[in-house]
Amino acid sequence: MQPRFSRVASTPAYQLVAEAIEREIVAGHMRPGDPLGTEAELVKQFGVNRSTVREGIRLLEQGGLVRRDSSRRLWIGLPHYDRLATRLSRALVLQEVTFRELYEAALGIQTATIEAAVERATPELIAQLEENVARTEETLADPVAVSELDAEFHSLIGRAAQNRVLQLAREPTESLVAPTTEIILRKVKEGAPRLLHAHRMYVDALKRRDKEAGRLWVRRHLNDWRKGFERAGRDLDQPIDRIYLQNRQ
């Protein structure tokens, strides 16, 4: 038999409160930095109990739309990269995405990133990148140090690109790819020198403002990563392991 009516679903009040506040923020009537108002005021405006208001606020708090400052007062907040990025990486782990999926996405995102970086890299950032390369050369035998410097290097490239959309897309993939670098460096002897050389070529491309070279070395660098990953005995089509997220928060 065909049901005539769809099920009635009454939205709980705390959710309505959250949605109302969210609408005001997204619509631009309340801007980041504005005070949200005290709980007592919200109670009066919404006509519900303080507990209900508080539950509604908690819904928004996690997403970064409202912030508590030192005085525990509530302000309209601006969801920021790192917060969203860690959420995203966690979601990717829970979805059990494979390394192949990560690799393909990283290739596209990093290619776009290096192109933007070639266009807009400042002398300061290039200096920082060169300093990073110098430190990498010094500690080339230490897999832990090299993989940390590698993560920093790509983070600097991301900053050089001056593109927040790319930054937001880059960080989650990066933070899942990065932990494997150490494993690879331990197993594959020529990994560290090749990594160092690729980084040198990156910086060189940035200095010469050569997009084609940038693209080329992104491909090579990620290709190295993928091959090293396989040579370390891992399967590209396996889900990424949730262990990689343990030491992040």
State the residues that interact with DNA by CB under 7 A.
10, 12-14, 38-40, 47-52, 54-55, 68, 70-74
Q: Which stretch binds its own copies (CB under 8 A): 82-90, 179-187, 199-207, 227-235?
A: 82-90
Of residues 43, 16, 40, 32, the one with CA closest to residue 69: 32
Of residues 188, 172, 175, 195, the one with CA closest to residue 234: 188
Residue 60 or 129 with smaller CB distance to its own copies: 60
Which partner, its own copies, DNA, none, binds residue 107 by CB below 5 to 8 Å per kind?
A: its own copies
Task: For residue 133, give Cα distances in angstroms to 2, 33, 127, 206, 208.
Answer: 68, 39, 10, 14, 17
The verdict on 84 binding its own copies (CB under 8 A) reads: yes
Q: How far apart are alpha carbons 79 and 4 in whole angstroms?
A: 42
Q: Which of residues 162-221 bind its own copies (CB under 8 A)?
A: 163-166, 168-169, 172-173
Q: Nearest approach, Cβ of 147 to DNA (angstroms)?
A: 38
Q: Which of residues 29-58 bind its own copies (CB under 8 A)?
A: 32, 51, 54-56, 58
Cβ–Cβ under 8 Å, residues 68 and 57 = no
Q: Nearest approach, Cβ of 73 to its own copies (angstroms)?
A: 14
Residue 23 or 231 with smaller CB distance to DNA: 23
Binding region for its own copies (CB under 8 A): 7, 9, 14, 18, 25-28, 32, 51, 54-56, 58-64, 70, 78-79, 84, 87-88, 90-95, 97, 100-102, 104-105, 107-113, 115-116, 163-166, 168-169, 172-173, 242, 245-246
